Amino acid sequence: MSLEMNAAELEEFIAKVFPQIKDDFVIEELEEMRIKVRLKVQDKHLRPGGTVSGPSMFGLADVAVYFAIMAMIGPKALAVTTSSSLDFMRKPVAHADLLAECRLLKLGKVLAVGDVLLFSDGMEAPVARASMTYSIPPR
């Protein structure tokens, strides 16, 4: 399978469909079945102490898998998350951006599964891992 959208087309699609989040996320790298997405961490993403909040980490992992699926199947918007699991392993660095490295492990007709590692920018060990299952509506 090859990409249906490149990074520029994907960002344009996101800006149209999710205008409220388009300034939070940057696509750093995109290839078949893989994507790297940056969360530009702002005050609204933080907990007391300055670390990135759990919901922000969930949101980044979820968005990374969604973007990877959209890049592969084209702008369909309607895929929805059905299951997720996350392990939180280290405290994110205060005030650093968060990077999601995602690969799609499965892209079926009905279900897609993505695997994500989250890193604080500049830190080698992952702060969290996530897997997300999306249901893809019939085309």
Query: In the bound complex, what is the minimum distance in angstroms from residue 22's beta carbon to its own copies?
Result: 12
Beta carbon nearer to its own copies, 6 or 21: 21
Query: In the bound complex, what is the minimum distance in angstroms from residue 2's beta carbon to its own copies?
Result: 17
CB neighbours of 29 closer than 8 A, spacing ≥ 6?
A: 35, 36
* Per-position x/- string for 8-37, each x denoting binding to its own copies as judged by CB under 8 A, each - no binding: ---------xx-x-----------------
Query: 89: how many CB neighbours lie within 10 A of its CB?
Result: 12
Single out the residue of 53, 64, 122, 123 in contact with its own copies (rule: CB under 8 A).
Answer: 53
Is the CB of residue 36 less than 8 Å from the CB of residue 94?
no
Is the CB of residue 53 less than 8 Å from the CB of residue 46?
yes
Is the CB of residue 119 less than 8 Å from the CB of residue 102?
no
Is the CB of residue 2 less than 8 Å from the CB of residue 68?
no
Query: In the bound complex, what is the minimum distance in angstroms from residue 134's beta carbon to its own copies?
Result: 10
- Name the DSSP letter for residue 73: H
**Residue 51 identity:** T
Beta carbon nearer to its own copies, 121 or 133: 133
Question: How far, in Å, CA of 126 to CA of 90, rounded?
Answer: 7
User: Taking CB under 8 A as the criterion, which residues in 57-116 touch its own copies?
Assistant: 58-59, 62, 80-90, 105-106, 108, 110-111, 113, 115
Alpha helices in 74-117 (DSSP H): none
Beta carbon nearer to its own copies, 5 or 63: 63
Query: In the bound complex, what is the minimum distance in angstroms from residue 61's beta carbon to its own copies?
Result: 10
Binding site for its own copies (CB under 8 A): 17-18, 20, 47-48, 53-56, 58-59, 62, 80-90, 105-106, 108, 110-111, 113, 115, 117, 125-126, 129, 131, 133, 135
